[in-house]
Amino acid sequence: MDELTEVEKLLKDTFTAHEHIAPDSDQVLADARERIQKRRAVLSRPLAVAAGVVVLTLAAVTVVLLNRPTDKAQVAGPVTTVQPTTSVSTESAIPELTMPYSLDWLPPGEVDYLVHRVNIGGTAEDPDTPIYGGEYMFNVTNNGQVLYVDVQHFGMSTPDEAAFKSGPGSPVTINGLHGVESSVSDGPGGYELYLTHPGGGSMYVGVSAENGTTAPAQLLIDTGRRIAEHIRFPGDTRVTPMFGLGELPSGMKMCTFDLEKGFDSPPGTAHPSTSYQLGTCDTQPTINIYTADERDVTGTAGQPVQGHETRYVDESGYLKLFVVDAVKGKSVAIAGSVPLADLYDIGNRLILPN
């Protein structure tokens, strides 16, 4: 793929990721899920794009095992920008990751989590102000009715600045917080709510029916509002990645993580994966680590990492080191515009499954 095509693809994916803020006529949740189903690999390198466009490295996908939350009292209070935290599971050496907020109520039915992530990306005008905090994306199936649910933090958009796919917004107050909501049961968007985030920006809650189906309007409204009522800050929801990070080099932190579930499209092709971005977290992260599409594992044989063979590729100064067969038959890629020795250093700090 040439450089122009890379830029065009990044722009397309980036604008798609911001449809909640600048929507078009398509269903935002349907678009998101279709994008997840079709995406086969992460972008090969981060690219600086025009002002106002977020630079994000989107991961491919990982299975997330998470216990269903139970009803708990809402705990509201000031929230600052939360960096991802980790704790080591007693059943595994791979550190768990903590979401910045928790969902203490979910609608009845079978819950299938598709995405857990924390993204920090900023705009060209203000790269240090996060646009995204945590995001949960999941499906709920109950008596044949399937609902799509998306809950995420938009750090730069207030409820009154929000735009909807489902129609004109109306003011609403939930738990004493100002919000704006809109709903349609048989069109794009479903129920959408932008609620004031205690730490700044908005919490977005979207609930819609499965593609090609409808759901009772009141079901969408009641579900979305109750989810919003039971968002708890700060969060203690923990998710388990496919691989973890050990102690990082001085001055480097984990800035983002992205865990998504694989899809059988076509059947038999699901490949869950995990990704991280490392850096100072004040500007665009400099190291990308992710479970790689095996079609991309090419290059020159390198030094072994933790007993695994490696391959490396130099793309005009942007280096990718592949730790072969590191996670359940999948390779882990470590990439950045840094010396190859730095990538080996990170590779030897990975926490891999036994």
pLDDT band at 119 (very low <50, low <70, confident <90, very high): confident
Task: Answer yes or no: are the C-beta atoms of 287 and 346 closer than 8 Å.
Answer: yes
Please say if the pLDDT value at position 9 is more than 50.
no
What CATH number should be reported for the domain whose range is 246-351?
A: 3.40.1000
Sequence-distant (≥ 6) Cβ neighbours of residue 78 within 8 angstroms: 198, 199
Given a contact cutoff of 8 angstroms between Cβ atoms, the answer to whether 52 and 124 are in contact is yes
Question: What does the mean pLDDT of the chain come to?
Answer: 77
Distance CA 10, CA 264 (A): 24
Average pLDDT on 268-289 reads 83
Whether residue 164 is predicted with pLDDT greater than 60 in this model: the reply is yes
* pLDDT for residue 238 is more than 90: yes
pLDDT of residue 266: 56
Give the domain ranges of the chain: 61-232, 246-351
Please, which residues bridge with residue 330 across strands?
Answer: 327
H-type helices in the chain, by residue range? 3-17, 28-38, 217-229, 340-347
84-107: average pLDDT: 81
Q: Out of 147-151, 226-230, 250-254, 338-342, which region has the weakest mean confidence (pLDDT)?
A: 250-254
Cβ neighbours for 292, distance < 8 A, ≥ 6 positions apart: 41, 322, 330, 331, 332, 333
Closest C-alpha to 252, from 276, 275, 278, 277: 278
| Residue 59: per-residue pLDDT | 29
User: Which range (79-93, 129-143, 206-220) has the least confidence?
Assistant: 79-93
CB 164 within 8 A of CB 23: yes
Query: What pLDDT was estimated at residue 129?
Result: 53
**What value, to the nearest 5°, has the Cα angle with vertex 326 and ends 320 and 327?**
115
Structure confidence at residue 264 as a pLDDT band (50, 70, 90): low
Checking if the pLDDT of 23 tops 50, the result is no
Percentage above 70 pLDDT, the chain: 68
How far is Cα 261 from Cα 1, in angstroms, rounded to an integer? 26
What's the pLDDT at 16? 42
Tens digit of each residue's pLDDT (9 = 90 or more) over 29-50: 444 444 443 332 232 222 222 2
Q: Which residue has the tokens 């991309």?
A: 296
Distance between CA atoms of residues 310 and 302, nearest Å: 5
Query: Among 57-71, 161-175, 207-221, 259-273, where is mean pLDDT lowest?
Result: 57-71
- pLDDT bin (cut points 50, 70, 90) of residue 165 is confident
3-state secondary structure of 91: coil
Residue 255 · residue 277 · CB < 8 Å: yes
Tens-place pLDDT, residues 84-95: 777 665 445 899
| Residues ≥6 apart with Cβ < 8 Å to 91 | none
Lowest mean pLDDT, pick from 3-17, 144-158, 167-181, 306-320: 3-17
